[in-house]
Amino acid sequence: MKELVVATTNKDKIREIKNILKGLGVKVLTPDEFGASPRIVENGKTFKDNASKKARIISRLTGKLAIADDSGLIVDALGGRPGVRSSRFAGEKAAYAENNAKLLRLLKNVPAGKRKACFVCVIAIAKDGKVLKTVKGMASGKIAFEPSGKSGFGYDPVFIDPKYGRTFAELGPEIKNKISHRYRALMKAKQALKKLL
């Protein structure tokens, strides 16, 4: 079976990516399985910069085809923040709840009609340290006034999908993994991976 390394140590992302890539006929591996989990500094200005850097490094270290995801939340009322700093919004080692709390605090006085946001996911595919392709997926919605829902991770408890009128955390993986930014990016990546594999 062909092998694909997902360039992340985030267990939530690994689980979601494996779930979405089912049926591709590949064995999805993690850098840990190669003893190759370097701390990669995500200092790019864009999601594409960060995804490309991670994919390049892990593909070179493992000698395998690698994919890396960089994703985040763009909130109109905050001028596009948290953006590429989404996972570090409340500090370098901030927990999901801390990032959500900071976001809601900053949006405290912003009315319902001005809480537009979108999730962005960029996936880079690399081999032997060279990026072969990058793809992007987006999901539009708005920010809730308080967290709701038990599933998902990151900003899922505060991100409301317009079609369902519920947060990603309330929708659960069965629905979220068919409409999310990561799903949309991975569907594009899947087409490229079929050719590359």
Q: Per-residue pLDDT tens for 16-34?
A: 999 888 888 889 999 988 8
In this structure, whether the domain defined by 2-196 belongs to CATH 3.90.79.10 is answered with: no
The contacts found for 187-195 with CB under 8 angstroms, 24 or more apart, are 187/20, 187/137, 188/123, 188/135, 188/136, 188/137, 189/67, 189/123, 189/125, 189/133, 189/135, 190/21, 190/24, 192/125, 192/132, 192/133, 192/135, 193/4, 193/24, 193/26, 193/65, 193/67, 193/125, 194/24
Q: Per-residue pLDDT tens for 42-86?
A: 899 999 999 999 999 999 999 999 999 999 999 999 999 999 999
The answer to whether residue 1 scores a pLDDT higher than 80 is no
Structure confidence at residue 143 (pLDDT): 98
Half-sphere exposure of 97 toward its Cβ, with a 13 Å CA cutoff?
Answer: 3
Catalytic residue among 70, 76, 128, 161: 70
pLDDT band (50, 70, 90) for residue 35: confident
Among this protein's residues, is 70 annotated catalytic? Answer: yes
Residue ranges of domains in the chain: 2-196
Cα Rg for the chain, rounded, in angstroms? 17
Q: Per-residue pLDDT tens for 153-195?
A: 999 999 999 999 999 999 999 999 999 999 999 999 999 998 8
